[in-house]
Chains A and B, each alone.
Chain A
Amino acid sequence: MTNAPQVDRSSADTVRAEYAELVREAATGERSAMERLLMRVQEVAYRFSLLVCGHQEDAEDVMQDALLKTYQHVGKISDPSAFRTWLYTTVRNACLMKRRRRVGEPSHFEPIEGGGGLEGTGRRAMDVPDMASPPDDRLMDGWIDRRLRTALQALPPAYRIVLVLREIDGLSTREVATVTGVSEANVKQRLHRARVMLRRQLEIP
C-alpha cells in the first residue's frame, strides 16, 4: 500500500497552461505558433476519435474537421484557458456525427458485380476470409497496445468517453462534465464504473 494519493493532477494543470499559451501565441497570427497548435489539435482529435469510436478512417476525418474549426475559431477566443474544453467538445460532436452516419450504414456491402459467387465453392465473394491483419490494425498495434484498445471498445460508449477524457487525456472532472454535458457527480460515478470495467476487461487481478 502506498500512503499518498496515486494520481498526479499537477501535470494536468501544466498541460492546461500549455494549451492556453499555445492559443495566445497562435492568435497573434505567427505561423510557427499556429502550426504547433494545429498539430496538437490534430493529435488530440485523432487519438480521441480512434479510442472512443474505434474507426481509423473516421479518426482522420475528425482530425481534419478539428483542424479547420480550430483555424476558424482561434482568432475569436477571448478566454484561452477555455480552449481545451472547446476543442474536446468540438471533437466529441464530430465523433457523434460520424457514429450517427455509421448507424445508418448497412453492416456489410454486397459486391456491385452481379452474382458474386466463387465458382465451385458455393461461397460468395464477400465470404472470403482475410486472415491477415488489415494494414490499419498493424499501424494501430504499433501505436497503442491492442489489448487496451480492445478493452476500451468493450465499454459502453458513455463510460468509455469519460474514461478516455479523464484517464488518457487528463481532463478534470469539471472539464469532462462540460464536454459531455452531464453533472460532475455523474462523471465521477461513470468514471468509477468505467475503471472497474476496464480492469475486468484487461483481466488485471
Chain B
Amino acid sequence: MTDSTRPECVPVLASISAYLDGELPGTECVRIEAHCVGCESCATLVEGLRATLGLCRGVASLPLPAPVRERAQASVQKLLDDALGSPKVRG
C-alpha cells in the first residue's frame, strides 16, 4: 500500500490474499470484483498475484533432476538393504 492508495482501495487491498485463497464469503467476493471492474490498479494487482501464484503451483509436481533422483534411489536401496537385507532374486 502506498500514500497514493485511494481510500476505496484500502479494504480491497487488505482482503486480496483472502480472496485469492477462497476464504471470503460470496458477498465479499462480489464486492471486490465489482471494485476491480472500475479500478485498473486493483484489477492489475489481482491478476498479477494470480499469475505469480500460478508460477509457483507447478513446482511441487516436478520430479527431481535425474542425477539427484538416482542418488536418492541409491540411498534408499542402501538404507533398506542394510536394515532389512537385500531382496531375494527370484530365479
- B29 part of interface (Cβ distance < 8 Å): yes
The bracket for how many chain B residues form the interface is 35 or more
Q: Given A35-B80, A47-B60, do A7 and B53 touch, yes or no (CB 8 Å)?
A: yes
CB-defined contacts of A6 to chain B, threshold 8 Å? 19-20, 22, 50, 53
CB-defined contacts of A148 to chain B, threshold 8 Å? 55-56, 59
Looking at chain A's contact residues, the main secondary structure is: helix
Check if A1 sits within 8 Å of B55, measured CB to CB.
no
Q: Given A139-B65, A139-B67, do A188 and B17 touch, yes or no (CB 8 Å)?
A: yes
CB-defined contacts of A42 to chain B, threshold 8 Å? 64, 72, 75-76
- A64 part of interface (Cβ distance < 8 Å): yes
Q: Point out the residue from B19, B21, B49, B71 that lies within 8 Å of A60, measured CB to CB.
A: B71
Check if A46 sits within 8 Å of B56, measured CB to CB.
no
Q: Which 10 A-B pairs have the closest CB atoms?
A: A5-B22, A192-B17, A167-B56, A199-B52, A42-B72, A38-B76, A204-B48, A143-B65, A1-B33, A168-B59
Chain A residue nearest to B36 (CB atoms) is: A1
Instruction: Give CA–CA (A169, B57) in the complex, Å.
Output: 8
- A13 part of interface (Cβ distance < 8 Å): no
